[in-house]
Chains A and B, each alone.
Chain A
Amino acid sequence: MATDTVGRFERALSDLEVGFERVAAADASERIASILEAPAVGTELPYDGVSQPDGVTTEPTAAELAAAETGVTPASFGIAEYGTVAIESRPDGDEPVALYPDFHVAVVAASDVVPDLGAAFERLEGHLRGAKSLVFATGRSATADMGDLVHGVHGPGAVHVIVLEDR
């Protein structure tokens, strides 16, 4: 069942023109390193056996954040139905790291991909009641306000999702 859900997640992401790959936790760091555009910043990846690669500056300063091309963050969960990743506002800065650079790489555990909005709200309830904040990010930042559809306005113009198949 989980496979189906991840498959659905993949299809939704592909409709959104968002990159997608499944990797084993052991290979994640290497995969992240190979796709990022330097300079890159990131926050701690809270998955067993997964860490940010060397090319990613963790605990960046605001200037490093502003200069970064890539931001790598974990996603608390994914929503298969819409191809959404939920990014939590943690003190180490997931929200700005996912938002400021033009390329956002989101890492999510396969077991955290939920089928639909209803299931997402079950998780959300706990988060928000605990006074947490998060964003459901779906696809790339976009606007048609300048007379035509353009991607990458205030948020990232490119997004890539890495699913940890054994987490």
Chain B
Amino acid sequence: MAERANSHSDPHASRTQPRTRDRDREEAAARIRHLLETEGEAVHAQASVSNVRRAQVYEETDDLEELRTKARAIKEDAIERLPELIETVREAVEANGGTVYVAEDAADANEYVANVVEDAGGESAGGTTEATSDATDATGASGPTVVKSKSMTTEEIDLNDTLEREGADVYETDLGEWVLQVADDTPSHIVGPAMHLSRAEIADLFTERFDPDEPFETAEELTRFARDYLGERIREADIGITGANFVVAESGTLTLITNEGNARKCAVTPDTHVTVAGVEKLLPTVRDLEPFVDLIAKSATGQPISQYVTLLTPPVESPTLDFASDEPIAELEDEDEDGDDREFHLVLLDNGRTAMREDDQLRETLYCIRCGACSNSCANFQSVGGHGFGGETYSGGIATGWEAGVHGQDSAAEFNDLCTGCSRCVDACPVKIDIPWINTVVRDRINRDAEPEAYDALVDGLTPNAETGGLDPGKRFFGNIGTVAKLGSATAPVSNWLADAGPVRDLLERTLGIDRRRDLPTFQRECLVDWFEKRGGEAASRRRADRAASRGDAADVDREAVLYPDVYTNYVDTDRGKAAVRTLEALGIPVRVPDLPESGRAPLSQGMVATADERASALYGAVAEDLDAGRDLVVIEPSDLAAFQREYERFLPERSFERLREHSYEVCEYVYGLLENGGDPTALSTSAALAESDDRGDRGDPIAYHSHCQQRTLGLEAPTTALLERCGYELRTSTAECCGMAGSFGYKREYYELSVDVGERLATEFEDAETVVASGTSCGDQLEGLLERDVPHPIEMIAPER
């Protein structure tokens, strides 16, 4: 990976690049703006509903975790045994009377299918003259007629183009795919491919194209028309092409999952059936299908099960349907052996998948069952859809893995930055893929392949040795935000005045891509660590904790805490740090606030994996003694806690990781635990209602609370809501998955408008709320900007005054 760094030798190129990068940002911003305006609304309407339904049905499914764990294990095993499974399925399909072809790449697969189609067309021309002439009337062409059910894999290889070039008439029969075919458009979602088009747009398109007596208006009319039109195409078809959701190796059974019923028709009506499926669709046994059949509709649309789960073991025994014949369709005893009049081809597509399997980071992508839950749960996806958040074929969070694997890194580079690592998809994915990690790794690879540029000198001092190559200077700046903040704090308030000055903002925008519409953080002259030392450090803290104990306020536990001074708490938002210190002391916990290394969250967001890895080791080294001494690491910023508890698993030895995970806590989770263990809530600054009446008859002060995306994924929203309620507040929580700010994302010029679009959905939920609190720095910043008011951390609501 690293050698590429020296491959750029043209000095001219590097001189002209900065302007290019600036222009690239402008173009990216324009593209996103256009999608927000034209497609965002329609995509959001459907994707967000599917996401809510998915969350509901997950909630109602008692054995959900068991199913996900099982599904994951089956996939791991299947991909491990892939070469063997290919041989097993070949034997099974051939024994049944079908053919298996393993296609190396798109061209190979297309050529094979084109030949099958040509043969099938030829046969039908010779056999049933009448049917052929029907087809000619209907289509004005004489090539074979192909009907298809929805298949992203055939989109991946552009099969339709090939077949049409060869003279076939190809009809998509999934209504969404057919709409795209009529519109000459591409899928914007892996499950609902035409999600970006509204009913009105489809009605206009169809009215123009098919010129009905009355213009189309309702979905009902459009659906009926589609049913009739496509029904005729299916009846006259020479060949049916389907994808497969799963392929069972031991029996040669295909699983097709649809709600419309078109895949059933395409598979069994014509006498020739071709299935194109990625090799990763193979599962060893029939029994292995069970958790997937149970999960896939739940994760995709929130339905308990899809309408049609078709389990075909071709060639099937169902009679073929020849609509020109007046013989009974049934194939009774005197006919040939079962299924003998049918032809079946299973085309297993490699197209990069074998290489993905051998790639330790991309392998997980092959476990994907393409349910689209990661798209639906993604705030950025909901706003721009798959035409923005997607590559050549695939879209949404996992598309980075798929595109990098099947179309190459360049296709992934187009949209990879749209994953902010919020991790909401992690809970949604039925096979537990760490989608944010795949995005981080691919971003790292893209960074390393990029060319360095002239402005790099500006941020060169920030680049640790771990990162080589032409990392975008903006990325380097944000990836090293700790150093920036330290400098900013040391030189405050001058740094703040400077940062606000017009020419400086202009420079920041052009070089680092920091959007000038965004307020920059205001650095504090005195950082949290210095404040704590000045106030008497650990010794003073112990005295305060002891006083609380002697008042009887303390929790009945013998603990000591190390408060983690994350970059923002330490240099920018020191108030929440001070609030945390006071709260812990008031409940009898002595606190330390040492100067600790950065968590690595910032470089992780920028795809600087090696830097993050170094930070993880440094951080662990710095807290190891505290952990050994039995102290708890209390963390305010959820994204840093998420680094300790999720990503560090990849950087630290297992024992170190487990140790840190076990002893690190989100601050409100920790405080709630203290109250549960006898800490006295009245020692805190509680809502008036609790103070005034013990029986809580009065309602407390209302509070609107937005948890943090990564905090939710850690399952840590509940302790904060419980804590605030315990302290007498009447709570309302947000439904929006993410605030849209996501660390540096909302600062970047190309993403500013998208970030605001996402943030506004959250802000709208809280518009009329009197008090709004948020756990994350980013969430707070975003909400403060949009609601134009203070948005403190929950700990600031409950901290005692002094």
Contact = CB atoms under 8 A, between A and B. Distances in A.
A110 to B, nearest CB: 21
Interface in A127-164: 127-129, 131-150, 152-156
Contacts of A146: 175, 179, 199, 202, 219, 222-223, 226
Contact of B311 (A84, A91, A136, A149): A136
A89 interface: yes
Interface residues of B, number: 74
Contact of A133 (B202, B230, B314): B314
B192 A145 contact: yes
A130 to B, nearest CB: 8
Interface stretch (A2-10, A24-32, A47-55, A62-70): A62-70
B251 A128 contact: yes
A117 B293 contact: yes
Interface in A57-105: 59-63, 65-66, 82, 84, 89-96, 99-100
A82 B298 CA distance: 12
Interface string B144-184: 00000000000000000000000000000111100100000
Nearest to B293: A117
Contacts of B179: 145-146
A125 interface: yes
A133 B329 contact: no
Contacts of B176: 143, 145
A124 interface: yes
Contact of A155 (B218, B268, B308): B308
B286 A128 contact: yes
B501 to A, nearest CB: 50
B262 A118 contact: no
A128 B290 contact: no
Interface stretch (B253-261, B378-386, B391-399, B489-497): B253-261
B321 A137 contact: no
Contact of A95 (B175, B235, B305, B318): B318
Contacts of B305: 82, 84, 117, 136, 138
A134 B287 contact: no
B109 interface: no
Nearest to B150: A145
Contact of B286 (A59, A66, A124): A124
Nearest to A126: B286
B332 A91 contact: yes
Contact of B309 (A89, A135, A141, A150): A135
Interface residues of A, number: 53
A19 to B, nearest CB: 16
Interface string B188-210: 00001010011110110000000
B103 interface: no
B317 interface: yes
A154 B262 contact: yes
B294 interface: yes
Nearest to B178: A145
A155 B314 contact: no
A55 to B, nearest CB: 18
A51 to B, nearest CB: 16
B646 interface: no
Contacts of B197: 147
B317 A91 contact: yes
A96 B316 CA distance: 12
A62 B321 contact: yes
A46 to B, nearest CB: 14
Nearest to B221: A146
A149 B219 CA distance: 8
Contact of B265 (A94, A99, A147): A99
B330 A93 contact: yes
Given A117-B294, A124-B286, A145 B309 contact: no
A84 B192 CA distance: 24
A148 B49 CA distance: 13
Given A66-B235, A144-B46, A155 B264 contact: yes
Interface string B303-331: 01111111111101111011111111111
A91 B318 contact: yes
A150 B331 contact: no
A52 to B, nearest CB: 13
A142 B307 CA distance: 8
B219 A142 contact: no
A71 to B, nearest CB: 12
Given A59-B330, A93-B330, A118-B290, A141 B259 contact: yes
Interface in B770-793: none
* Centre residue among B219, B269, B311, B324 by max chain A CB count within 10 A: B311
B309 A136 contact: yes
B286 A133 contact: no
Given A125-B286, A128-B251, A153 B325 contact: no
Contacts of B322: 62
A100 B268 CA distance: 12
B269 A134 contact: no
Contacts of B234: 154
Given A62-B323, A90-B317, 13 more contacts: A91-B332, A124-B311, A128-B253, A129-B286, A131-B313, A135-B308, A136-B293, A136-B310, A144-B46, A147-B197, A147-B219, A154-B230, A155-B308
20 contacts: A62-B323, A62-B329, A89-B312, A89-B318, A92-B332, A96-B268, A121-B287, A124-B286, A131-B313, A132-B313, A132-B317, A141-B260, A141-B307, A142-B260, A144-B192, A146-B222, A152-B227, A153-B227, A154-B265, A156-B261
